[in-house]
């Protein structure tokens, strides 16, 4: 009981941390012309992932501390299945992708993703909050808690749908507002260069999904999928 309470409080603390970062560091403190354009901060994968983490940690903590005592057992199972499935299929892979993509481009050529003038706008502390701690927190959540993941195929499809929606969002912004979300895209002038790059990023995201799915099985044991549960019930009936 005490251990479960501590874990719930840790999750609530992480939710408050993400809320603080989003409200203070991103909305009140950090000012940049890019954020004043169409879609504001909602056009970057980093901000969207921070929001997903905020909703996840606060939602899960409130459910564990309060709502689970008010809801029926069947509803609690559905809530856990939804939140755990979202974490394993979208939230964790997206957070790790932010870290991998940002730092890979940064060390290759920082002008592509984080020009030097950004250091004057966004302090390095906030930069690490956005692009380093995001992935570390996701890994700690994965290792510490045993989640009820979706089956590998269903989670893979959901992760792919998320990637497709964000790619469509990037092109929609360009179509409506006439600019690319990331400076790198202005250098990809040859035909299909942008599509090849985005295809590579999506492939990395799917690879990260596969790796974190395997890591979860490694730390918590292979999960029994809903398909195997149904087949076992059929055998018992027979």
- Residues 17-27 have a mean pLDDT of 72
- Residues 129-136 have a mean pLDDT of 89
Q: What is the pLDDT of residue 227?
A: 42
Give counts: helices (H), strands (E), the chain: 10, 0
Instruction: Report CA-CA distances (Å) from 172 to 46, 120, 169.
Output: 18, 30, 5
Cβ contacts of 118 within 8 Å, gap of 6 or more: 32, 127
Evaluate if pTM is beyond 0.85. yes
Q: What is the pLDDT of residue 28?
A: 60
50-64, 93-107, 169-183: segment of lowest average pLDDT: 50-64
Q: Are 195 and 91 in contact (CB under 8 A)?
A: no
Which of the four pLDDT bands, split at 50, 70 and 90, describes residue 26?
Answer: low
For the chain, the average pLDDT equals: 86
Say what percent of the chain tops pLDDT 90: 55
Q: What is the pLDDT of residue 22?
A: 72
Which of the four pLDDT bands, split at 50, 70 and 90, describes residue 149?
Answer: very high
Q: Is the pLDDT of residue 25 over 70?
A: no
Q: What is the pLDDT of residue 1?
A: 60
Q: Is the pLDDT of residue 124 over 90?
A: no
pLDDT in tens, 209-229: 999 999 999 999 876 544 445
Q: Is the pLDDT of residue 166 over 90?
A: yes
Q: What is the pLDDT of residue 230?
A: 47
- Residues 183-211 have a mean pLDDT of 94
- Cα dihedral 42, 43, 49, 53, rounded to 10, equals 0
Instruction: Report CA-CA distances (Å) from 151 to 26, 154, 184, 235.
Output: 35, 5, 35, 21
Q: Are 53 and 138 in contact (CB under 8 A)?
A: yes
Q: Is the pLDDT of residue 144 over 70?
A: yes
How far is 131 from 209, CA to CA, in rounded Å? 18
What phi and psi, each to the nearest 5 degrees, are found at residue 187?
-90, -15
């Amino acid at each position: 009981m005490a251990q479960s309470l501590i874990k719930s409080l840790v999750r609530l603390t992480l939710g408050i941390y993400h809320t603080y970062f989003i409200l203070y560091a991103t909305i009140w403190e950090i000012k940049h012309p890019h954020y004043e354009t169409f879609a504001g901060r909602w056009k970057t994968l980093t901000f969207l992932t921070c929001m997903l983490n905020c909703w996840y940690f606060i939602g899960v903590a409130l459910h564990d501390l309060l709502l689970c005592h008010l809801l029926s057992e069947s509803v609690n199972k559905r809530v856990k299945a939804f939140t755990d499935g979202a974490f394993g299929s979208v939230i964790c892979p997206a957070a790790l992708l932010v870290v991998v993509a940002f730092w890979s481009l940064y060390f290759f050529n920082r002008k592509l993703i984080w020009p030097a003038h950004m250091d004057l706008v966004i302090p390095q502390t906030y930069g690490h909050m956005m692009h380093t701690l995001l992935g570390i927190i996701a890994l700690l959540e994965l290792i510490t808690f045993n989640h009820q993941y979706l089956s590998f195929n269903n989670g893979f499809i959901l992760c792919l749908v998320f990637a497709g929606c964000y790619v469509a969002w990037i092109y929609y912004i360009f179509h409506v507002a006439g600019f690319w979300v990331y400076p790198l895209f202005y250098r990809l002038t040859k035909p299909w260069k942008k599509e090849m790059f985005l295809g590579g990023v999506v492939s990395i995201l799917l690879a990260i999904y596969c790796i974190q799915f395997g890591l979860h099985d490694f730390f918590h044991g292979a999960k029994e999928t809903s398909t195997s549960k149904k087949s076992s019930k059929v055998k018992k009936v027979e």
